[in-house]
Structure 1
């Protein structure tokens, strides 16, 4: 039987790819799990050396298979990779100092990113040891749904190496519950408003509903979806009586919410938004804990207690069925479609593992009980969205749609810096294991800090929640929020082990007092080191490159984020994952300014700590090209629905908010001139600004069609 036609296993095997060589066609192929994953046409008349199978050299646990190819004299070969429909380009290591952290929207192929990751098979393929280039600017989809990527490789007498790592996240990175062939999280872009940092526990029903109306009026048309109540609605004791249930306590609201959950969800939905709710794993009633057989007790029969979690449910099937399942099922029936489940870090580490320390249960039992709690919640809420909060654990993989990767945020610089740093640290998990949540963005922070936080969250496609009182949203901040809605569907484009060589704190404790380390040392950085005086580069966490691709267009959004002060510097284009031999037009989004054309490097200005610079970096050709827009920080993956160029006529199909106007910039090479503009279902104007043409579109409906015609001098 042809190897490529073999049956694919429901669970991809932890086993080697087998090879075949066709003498007639001189085609070398490797086959894995029902697909021909690698095809290499060998040149005629040249002796080839290749590894048939792994021969045991690197077959270990976790499993690594190494293949290689060499020729008696240098040859160029085109290598074709065929993977599942959910395959992406991936750099097989994390960014180093001076390199951009790589992300992708669409399925672009990124210069220098020498790997492919098949998400559905959890298979990482990477290659080393020879010069190579992508044969196409994107990963293509075949008629059978499989993904195809091709590279041209210069292979000589030194072996070119291909590594295959089966069950990569599951075994190599130790996320043992990652089984994408069984379950994938909901990876849609998520944005909303959260009440916690706006009101904390000093919140009433009227505050939520008035905030929902404000959010709907100002942000719904731009893509914001959820309004989430976070704490302050529940009774003070959980459960309310010694013989009560945890579910009854949470399903009843206190006197500040007289309409109950039903009134709250219906009020939010009347604003055209989806209601979200904060839930918690705590038990606070000591009488219940002492009398109930649902809490874990020590050897003397006293209930154990942990920090932030209170008393600890034993998470047996009986306890979950009585106390937890009705809780989540009831909230779902009230109409909540977004669930933030909090304190689960404390459930496992400050609760269940306290029982391990007491010798009451084993580590494996603690993990199983924790998973059972979260699985119970997920089962009861059905298709509703589930955010695991807080702390990143392997134990939530396969259950949670999103995971809080950072500690609690607030409008201070240490907290915002923490969000930026943790987004960088955990980016290798993003939209592979779950959606990353760096916690809510407090837009009332100083403007440059807030701009940095919300820009990074939007560009990386992380979970975007804003959390301020409506009166904090002045016109400038409203404009800034809109420029970042909705967040993108960005996926990580790099992977590797977690870096634990720098601190994760936003603040710490010294002799019992919480202090802001920036006040103790204004030069203290997110790395835990002081940058050298005049350091010109970009330390890790400060440089990002999100590679954007639509059906019609490919470009890069480069972001500089000053988690520490950044000096004026020359940014090497290759460090962004772009071919330095090409020429690029560059546009600064927040300055709304064209920066010029560059090859090899881009000159960048100094950035004070907390500030950012977002640049569109677009390859230029011998005809006008769309460069940037004012609508979205992606410049523009949101409002540009379709783009085409035909014999001097550039057509844009655009989505917009009726009654607003947006600007679109074209880079126009010498020798071209604008002949005219027509706009359907809207109004438009254009003006020349140096090497660019600015097109202004006034939207009278939700979509418009712009046709800008060019002539050659």
Structure 2
């Protein structure tokens, strides 16, 4: 999507000016205000007045400091563009939860702001500080701003400005958010690959579409993607044809062609997705059309593992071989495109030519980028574009999503990889792309599938299930329904890529359903002794800041067996002095009111615990839900407290029943309830910390209203 912020931010100092009448130190950047630091009357500030200092190299960092001659409280305003986030300026360390966010929360102790359109990271250190408000606020021009207070004094408050942060500091050189932003809409769907592999048929798609329509579409699944198996056996099918022929002409298992596929998918109301690959496999075509292919040092067409024969990306080849492929599939009615083998195209193909001195590294990267750009131009900005696989810097600024993990399957080693790679790459989530951990195989051990579904949904990943739906029992259907749709979660932390654990450790493989602790630890390069309380990628905190409600969901995932632990709430970026109602989602159990810390369960390998934490208020309030693992960013459209009544606007699936838990302080008495579009049954119970109402709500219509009266 084209950005509305087209001016490239300079890699240059923010300029300072002192306004005596305001007693304020201002910093301006890119032609606009950036920082306003208000110094109390009677305090003398000390600050850097010129571009001296030693942090002047590339990637560029401007360090600002402010000190006072005596202790005083300093107010600071941060002025931002039309897209900004509170962001921890480093990755989670041991004992900290990985942070995600929906909305614009300002989180306890999270000492950074990322201005998305300007690719500017602002972080601060040194002096004590706190937010003055709970969320970023938007001004009359649509720009965002934040306010904090700093404990000024002789100890300096240090501010770092990292210009073009993702582009230069993290080396995603094609990331230019001031020109273009990916379409990072939540994606929830089904793919044919792990269900049927290359044996997939048109009948399989038709039958699966009917199942998905009944069981998952009402809950938010809206994409069906055909994977490898529909195309011709050889690419292209004949010596005299073109590459596009292999993809536009379906094989004998699809006698009705793409028209039949589109009819099966769109006829059920799903968005139609299609897989294709950059590979060329027909050697006769290659020999007859050498001008389209890169050559090796012997002058023969370049061959690479998985990619087979390596296309050139000059204008003629792109126009005659690549553009017709994507334009043809777009014209058939597909709007979701997955392009595979691009990592092999670059590293197993083009870089063989680099090794032989036939291409430079820059030319190889440009060639891959040319291929992706051609595809994007043909499918248009209104289509969704997934690059597979590898988080390639060349894909930034072109694709909407990147696959971040290896090939999935139902084994623990594959599922564990999906979970830890979700953690490793989380700093790119909805900044560079939508992260795709690959397909979720829910046919695996029930607890493993439930954990991966929970993690991908909460962290906002591209959620594609991929099984033969005949393998889904009642419990697996229920787990999927509780985790769809995937959420629009954005990363709440950034920093360098964590390379302290292996990507894909080759170990003796056990059976799909067999696993011992030693093997599980070895997958992550860990020693099984001592046992872990929180291992890499196991602890998450997703913060929800909606206009009507604010809460946190803590997720603990046993990527190795995890010991019981007492977790400090500060590790979740929550205020330790506040009280929070804690509710366990999968056990559907109230855990009580927690201050300072929370006790979490020991977890067997592959199991998870999902706990909602709502700040306790002195009134009846919603604290838990059965509908969605987010508890509940999906079915609750509004929550209001008006004149002794709790009012809920709800969305649901007609004919189904969900449960909602309301905490009622002892100073209130429950009186009555009524519903519109829903039927409500109420169970009243007491707990150690609070009186609870359990609402069992049956939907008669998709939209419903609940009205609960208290005295």
Q: The TM-score by the shorter chain falls in which range?
A: over 0.9
Q: How does 1:285-684 map to 2 (within 5 A)?
A: 285-292=282-289, 293-382=291-380, 383-505=382-504, 508=506, 521-535=518-532, 537-684=533-680
Q: How does 1:106-255 map to 2 (within 5 A)?
A: 106-255=103-252
| Residue-by-residue CA offset, 1:609-664 (whole Å, 9 max, x unaligned) | 10000000111022122111111100001111111112211101111111112111
What's the offset of the Cα at 1:522?
3.0
Q: How does 1:39-50 map to 2 (within 5 A)?
A: 39-50=36-47
What's the offset of the Cα at 1:398?
0.5
Bigger CA drift: 572-581 or 28-37? 28-37
What's the offset of the Cα at 1:514?
9.9
What's the offset of the Cα at 1:682?
1.5
Establish whether residue 12 from structure 1 lines up as the match of residue 9 from structure 2. Answer: yes
The answer to whether the 8 A contact 2:187-2:486 is kept is: yes
What's the offset of the Cα at 1:358?
2.3
What's the offset of the Cα at 1:172?
0.3
Q: How does 1:69-88 map to 2 (within 5 A)?
A: 69-88=66-85
The answer to whether the 8 A contact 1:324-1:376 is kept is: yes
| Residue-by-residue CA offset, 1:554-578 (whole Å, 9 max, x unaligned) | 1000000000111111011100010
Q: How does 1:694-713 map to 2 (within 5 A)?
A: 694-711=694-711
| Residue-by-residue CA offset, 1:84-115 (whole Å, 9 max, x unaligned) | 12100000000011110000011111111000
The answer to whether the 8 A contact 2:518-2:528 is kept is: no
| Residue-by-residue CA offset, 1:422-444 (whole Å, 9 max, x unaligned) | 00000000000000000010011
The answer to whether the 8 A contact 2:294-2:311 is kept is: yes
Q: Distance in 2 between matches of 1:154 and 1:386?
A: 47
Bigger CA drift: 481-490 or 682-691? 682-691
SS in 2 for 1:170: helix
Q: Distance in 2 between matches of 1:51 and 1:532?
A: 50
| Residue-by-residue CA offset, 1:429-471 (whole Å, 9 max, x unaligned) | 0000000000010011111000010000000010000001111
The answer to whether the 8 A contact 1:133-1:152 is kept is: yes
Aligned twin of 1:3: none
Q: Distance in 2 between matches of 1:26 and 1:554?
A: 35
What's the offset of the Cα at 1:243?
2.4
Q: 2:682 aligns with which of 679, 686, 694?
A: 686
What's the offset of the Cα at 1:518?
5.4
Bigger CA drift: 394-403 or 34-43? 34-43
The answer to whether the 8 A contact 2:517-2:561 is kept is: no
Pick closer, same or farther for the CA change 1:105–1:41 going to 2, 3 Å. Answer: same
| Residue-by-residue CA offset, 1:199-225 (whole Å, 9 max, x unaligned) | 101111100111111111111111111
What's the offset of the Cα at 1:54?
3.7
Number of aligned pairs? 701
Pick closer, same or farther for the CA change 1:406–1:8 going to 2, 3 Å. Answer: closer
The answer to whether the 8 A contact 1:54-1:66 is kept is: no
The answer to whether the 8 A contact 1:80-1:151 is kept is: yes
Pick closer, same or farther for the CA change 1:118–1:172 going to 2, 3 Å. Answer: same
| Residue-by-residue CA offset, 1:5-40 (whole Å, 9 max, x unaligned) | xx9871011111111111112121111112211111
Pick closer, same or farther for the CA change 1:525–1:599 going to 2, 3 Å. Answer: farther
What's the offset of the Cα at 1:51?
2.1
Give the TM-score taking structure 1 as reference length: 0.96
SS in 1 for 2:669: strand
| Residue-by-residue CA offset, 1:264-284 (whole Å, 9 max, x unaligned) | 112211011111101001111
Q: Distance in 1 between matches of 2:516 and 2:238?
A: 46
SS in 2 for 1:477: helix
SS in 1 for 2:216: helix
The answer to whether the 8 A contact 2:520-2:559 is kept is: no
The answer to whether the 8 A contact 2:517-2:560 is kept is: no
Pick closer, same or farther for the CA change 1:201–1:492 going to 2, 3 Å. Answer: same
The answer to whether the 8 A contact 1:325-1:376 is kept is: yes
SS in 2 for 1:422: helix
Give the TM-score taking structure 2 as reference length: 0.96
Q: Distance in 2 between matches of 1:9 and 1:593?
A: 50
Q: Distance in 1 between matches of 2:83 and 2:460?
A: 18
The answer to whether the 8 A contact 1:281-1:344 is kept is: yes
What's the offset of the Cα at 1:673?
1.6
Q: Distance in 1 between matches of 2:606 and 2:697?
A: 33
RMSD: 1.6
The answer to whether the 8 A contact 2:5-2:178 is kept is: no
**Runs of 5+ unmatched residues, structure 1:** 1-6
Aligned twin of 1:24: 21
Q: 1:96 aligns with which of 93, 96, 101?
A: 93
What's the offset of the Cα at 1:153?
1.1
Q: Distance in 2 between matches of 1:629 and 1:409?
A: 30
Q: Distance in 1 between matches of 2:561 and 2:146?
A: 39
**Runs of 5+ unmatched residues, structure 2:** none
Q: Distance in 1 between matches of 2:239 and 2:357?
A: 27
Pick closer, same or farther for the CA change 1:53–1:680 going to 2, 3 Å. Answer: farther
Q: Distance in 1 between matches of 2:191 and 2:413?
A: 20
Q: Distance in 1 between matches of 2:557 and 2:658?
A: 25
Aligned twin of 1:4: none
Bigger CA drift: 232-241 or 296-305? 296-305
| Residue-by-residue CA offset, 1:494-532 (whole Å, 9 max, x unaligned) | 000001111011x5277xx99989569435244311243
